[in-house]
Amino acid sequence: MFRPMSALQSNLIVLCLVALLLGVVVSPVAAWSHGDLVPVNVYLRINGSYPSTPSTTIPYDFCPRFGWNKLVEIPSADYGSNETDIAIRFEIGRGVNRQTKWMPLKELPSPTNGIKTAKHLTMVIFYFGFQVGAFGRFTSFKAVATYSEHAHEVIIIKYEWDEHRSYNPHIALGVVSAVSLVGFLMLVHKFTSDASKSPSTITVVRDRMD
Protein backbone atom coordinates (compact mmCIF):
# COMPACT_ATOMS: atom_id res chain seq x y z
CA MET A 1 0.00 0.00 0.00
CA PHE A 2 1.33 3.45 -0.88
CA ARG A 3 2.79 5.36 2.00
CA PRO A 4 3.51 9.03 1.43
CA MET A 5 7.01 10.25 2.25
CA SER A 6 7.45 11.90 5.59
CA ALA A 7 8.77 15.46 5.91
CA LEU A 8 12.13 14.07 7.09
CA GLN A 9 12.52 11.86 4.02
CA SER A 10 11.66 14.76 1.71
CA ASN A 11 14.21 17.01 3.41
CA LEU A 12 16.91 14.32 3.14
CA ILE A 13 16.33 13.97 -0.59
CA VAL A 14 16.53 17.73 -1.10
CA LEU A 15 19.72 17.96 0.96
CA CYS A 16 21.36 15.19 -1.08
CA LEU A 17 20.56 16.98 -4.33
CA VAL A 18 21.90 20.28 -2.99
CA ALA A 19 25.08 18.59 -1.74
CA LEU A 20 25.72 17.06 -5.17
CA LEU A 21 25.37 20.43 -6.84
CA LEU A 22 27.55 22.23 -4.31
CA GLY A 23 30.27 19.61 -4.75
CA VAL A 24 30.79 20.93 -8.28
CA VAL A 25 29.92 24.59 -7.83
CA VAL A 26 32.29 25.16 -4.90
CA SER A 27 35.91 24.82 -6.03
CA PRO A 28 38.48 23.61 -3.45
CA VAL A 29 41.29 25.65 -5.03
CA ALA A 30 41.80 29.36 -5.51
CA ALA A 31 40.45 30.50 -8.87
CA TRP A 32 42.75 32.32 -11.30
CA SER A 33 41.78 34.67 -14.11
CA HIS A 34 43.63 35.19 -17.36
CA GLY A 35 46.36 37.79 -16.81
CA ASP A 36 46.44 37.60 -12.99
CA LEU A 37 49.81 38.40 -11.44
CA VAL A 38 51.62 35.29 -10.17
CA PRO A 39 54.03 36.26 -7.35
CA VAL A 40 57.41 34.52 -7.23
CA ASN A 41 59.56 34.27 -4.10
CA VAL A 42 63.31 33.69 -4.23
CA TYR A 43 65.38 31.75 -1.69
CA LEU A 44 69.17 32.18 -1.52
CA ARG A 45 71.43 29.41 -0.27
CA ILE A 46 74.86 30.67 0.73
CA ASN A 47 77.60 28.26 1.78
CA GLY A 48 75.02 25.50 2.21
CA SER A 49 72.70 27.37 4.56
CA TYR A 50 69.49 29.20 3.78
CA PRO A 51 66.66 30.89 5.71
CA SER A 52 63.24 29.32 6.17
CA THR A 53 61.57 32.41 4.72
CA PRO A 54 62.10 33.87 1.22
CA SER A 55 65.20 36.05 0.85
CA THR A 56 63.55 38.31 -1.72
CA THR A 57 60.83 38.40 -4.37
CA ILE A 58 60.93 38.96 -8.10
CA PRO A 59 59.70 42.50 -8.87
CA TYR A 60 56.11 42.51 -10.08
CA ASP A 61 57.08 43.75 -13.55
CA PHE A 62 59.21 40.61 -13.97
CA CYS A 63 56.69 38.14 -12.51
CA PRO A 64 54.59 35.82 -14.67
CA ARG A 65 50.96 36.52 -15.58
CA PHE A 66 48.46 33.69 -15.53
CA GLY A 67 48.20 32.28 -19.07
CA TRP A 68 50.62 34.78 -20.66
CA ASN A 69 53.92 33.77 -22.27
CA LYS A 70 56.59 36.19 -21.19
CA LEU A 71 60.37 36.73 -21.27
CA VAL A 72 62.24 38.99 -18.86
CA GLU A 73 65.85 39.67 -17.96
CA ILE A 74 67.01 40.01 -14.37
CA PRO A 75 70.49 41.39 -13.53
CA SER A 76 72.58 38.46 -12.36
CA ALA A 77 74.38 40.76 -9.93
CA ASP A 78 71.15 40.92 -7.89
CA TYR A 79 71.90 37.39 -6.69
CA GLY A 80 75.68 37.64 -6.48
CA SER A 81 76.51 35.60 -9.57
CA ASN A 82 80.26 36.09 -9.11
CA GLU A 83 80.18 34.03 -5.93
CA THR A 84 80.97 30.33 -6.19
CA ASP A 85 78.74 28.91 -3.45
CA ILE A 86 75.39 30.59 -4.00
CA ALA A 87 72.26 28.82 -5.24
CA ILE A 88 68.74 30.10 -5.80
CA ARG A 89 65.35 28.45 -5.60
CA PHE A 90 62.09 29.89 -6.90
CA GLU A 91 58.71 29.46 -5.21
CA ILE A 92 55.36 30.19 -6.86
CA GLY A 93 53.25 32.09 -4.33
CA ARG A 94 49.56 32.83 -3.68
CA GLY A 95 48.67 29.38 -2.49
CA VAL A 96 50.22 27.47 -5.40
CA ASN A 97 53.11 26.24 -3.21
CA ARG A 98 55.32 24.95 -6.02
CA GLN A 99 59.11 25.21 -5.76
CA THR A 100 62.02 24.60 -8.09
CA LYS A 101 65.13 22.66 -7.15
CA TRP A 102 68.24 24.54 -6.03
CA MET A 103 70.04 26.13 -8.98
CA PRO A 104 73.72 27.05 -8.42
CA LEU A 105 74.62 30.40 -9.94
CA LYS A 106 78.01 28.97 -10.83
CA GLU A 107 78.73 25.29 -11.36
CA LEU A 108 82.35 24.34 -10.72
CA PRO A 109 84.24 21.43 -12.33
CA SER A 110 83.83 18.23 -10.36
CA PRO A 111 84.34 14.51 -11.02
CA THR A 112 80.77 13.88 -9.82
CA ASN A 113 78.99 16.22 -12.23
CA GLY A 114 81.24 15.68 -15.24
CA ILE A 115 81.79 19.42 -15.76
CA LYS A 116 85.25 20.27 -17.13
CA THR A 117 84.96 24.06 -16.97
CA ALA A 118 82.96 26.39 -14.75
CA LYS A 119 79.47 27.22 -16.00
CA HIS A 120 77.16 30.11 -15.17
CA LEU A 121 73.38 30.18 -14.87
CA THR A 122 72.08 32.06 -17.90
CA MET A 123 68.41 31.08 -18.29
CA VAL A 124 65.51 29.59 -16.34
CA ILE A 125 62.42 28.41 -18.22
CA PHE A 126 59.19 27.96 -16.27
CA TYR A 127 56.62 25.63 -17.80
CA PHE A 128 53.07 26.08 -16.51
CA GLY A 129 50.02 23.96 -17.30
CA PHE A 130 46.72 25.72 -16.66
CA GLN A 131 42.98 25.77 -17.19
CA VAL A 132 40.88 28.91 -17.63
CA GLY A 133 37.23 29.66 -16.95
CA ALA A 134 35.26 29.98 -13.75
CA PHE A 135 37.69 27.59 -12.07
CA GLY A 136 41.01 28.77 -13.55
CA ARG A 137 43.83 26.84 -11.93
CA PHE A 138 47.35 25.46 -12.28
CA THR A 139 47.57 21.87 -13.55
CA SER A 140 51.35 21.36 -13.78
CA PHE A 141 54.64 23.12 -13.14
CA LYS A 142 58.34 22.57 -13.75
CA ALA A 143 61.46 24.70 -14.24
CA VAL A 144 64.55 24.01 -16.34
CA ALA A 145 67.90 25.77 -15.81
CA THR A 146 70.38 26.46 -18.63
CA TYR A 147 74.09 27.06 -18.07
CA SER A 148 76.81 28.58 -20.21
CA GLU A 149 80.61 28.68 -20.01
CA HIS A 150 80.46 32.44 -20.37
CA ALA A 151 79.11 34.68 -17.62
CA HIS A 152 76.32 37.06 -18.57
CA GLU A 153 75.16 40.26 -16.95
CA VAL A 154 71.53 39.06 -16.89
CA ILE A 155 69.63 35.88 -16.19
CA ILE A 156 66.87 35.28 -18.74
CA ILE A 157 63.59 34.19 -17.19
CA LYS A 158 61.08 32.68 -19.60
CA TYR A 159 57.47 31.81 -18.72
CA GLU A 160 55.71 29.36 -21.02
CA TRP A 161 52.04 28.43 -20.53
CA ASP A 162 50.20 25.41 -21.93
CA GLU A 163 46.42 25.35 -21.66
CA HIS A 164 44.86 21.99 -20.75
CA ARG A 165 41.27 21.52 -21.87
CA SER A 166 40.64 18.01 -20.53
CA TYR A 167 38.18 19.26 -17.92
CA ASN A 168 35.18 21.54 -18.43
CA PRO A 169 33.40 22.58 -15.21
CA HIS A 170 30.25 23.62 -17.08
CA ILE A 171 29.89 20.17 -18.64
CA ALA A 172 30.54 18.53 -15.28
CA LEU A 173 27.87 20.66 -13.63
CA GLY A 174 25.39 19.75 -16.36
CA VAL A 175 26.14 16.03 -16.01
CA VAL A 176 25.74 16.07 -12.21
CA SER A 177 22.50 18.05 -12.48
CA ALA A 178 21.13 15.60 -15.06
CA VAL A 179 22.09 12.56 -12.98
CA SER A 180 20.52 14.11 -9.88
CA LEU A 181 17.30 14.85 -11.77
CA VAL A 182 17.12 11.33 -13.22
CA GLY A 183 17.69 9.83 -9.76
CA PHE A 184 14.92 11.97 -8.29
CA LEU A 185 12.49 11.04 -11.07
CA MET A 186 13.29 7.33 -10.62
CA LEU A 187 12.60 7.66 -6.90
CA VAL A 188 9.25 9.32 -7.56
CA HIS A 189 8.40 6.68 -10.17
CA LYS A 190 9.17 3.90 -7.66
CA PHE A 191 6.79 5.35 -5.07
CA THR A 192 4.04 5.83 -7.65
CA SER A 193 4.50 2.29 -8.98
CA ASP A 194 4.24 0.84 -5.46
CA ALA A 195 1.05 2.77 -4.94
CA SER A 196 -0.55 1.48 -8.14
CA LYS A 197 0.30 -2.14 -7.24
CA SER A 198 -1.25 -1.95 -3.76
CA PRO A 199 -4.25 -4.36 -3.42
CA SER A 200 -7.68 -2.79 -3.27
CA THR A 201 -10.53 -4.06 -1.09
CA ILE A 202 -13.86 -4.52 -2.85
CA THR A 203 -16.97 -5.03 -0.76
CA VAL A 204 -19.86 -6.80 -2.50
CA VAL A 205 -23.28 -6.26 -1.01
CA ARG A 206 -25.91 -8.86 -1.86
CA ASP A 207 -29.62 -8.52 -1.37
CA ARG A 208 -31.15 -11.15 0.81
CA MET A 209 -34.34 -12.80 -0.28
CA ASP A 210 -36.56 -13.76 2.60
- Res 4: pLDDT: 52
What does the pLDDT read at residue 55? Answer: 87
For residues 71 and 56, what is the distance between their CA atoms, to the nearest angstrom?
20
pLDDT in the model for residue 62: 94
pLDDT value at 199 more than 60: no
The answer to whether 164 and 139 have CB atoms below 8 angstroms apart is yes
**82/151: higher pLDDT:** 151
**Residues pairing with 124 in the sheet:** 145, 157
CA 9 to the chain's CA centroid? 37
How much is the pTM? 0.63
pLDDT band at 90 (very low <50, low <70, confident <90, very high): very high
Return the pLDDT at 108.
82
Domain ranges of the chain: 40-163
How many angstroms separate the Cα of 129 from the Cα of each of 63, 157, 158, 159, 195? 16, 17, 14, 11, 55
Mean pLDDT of 51-60: 88
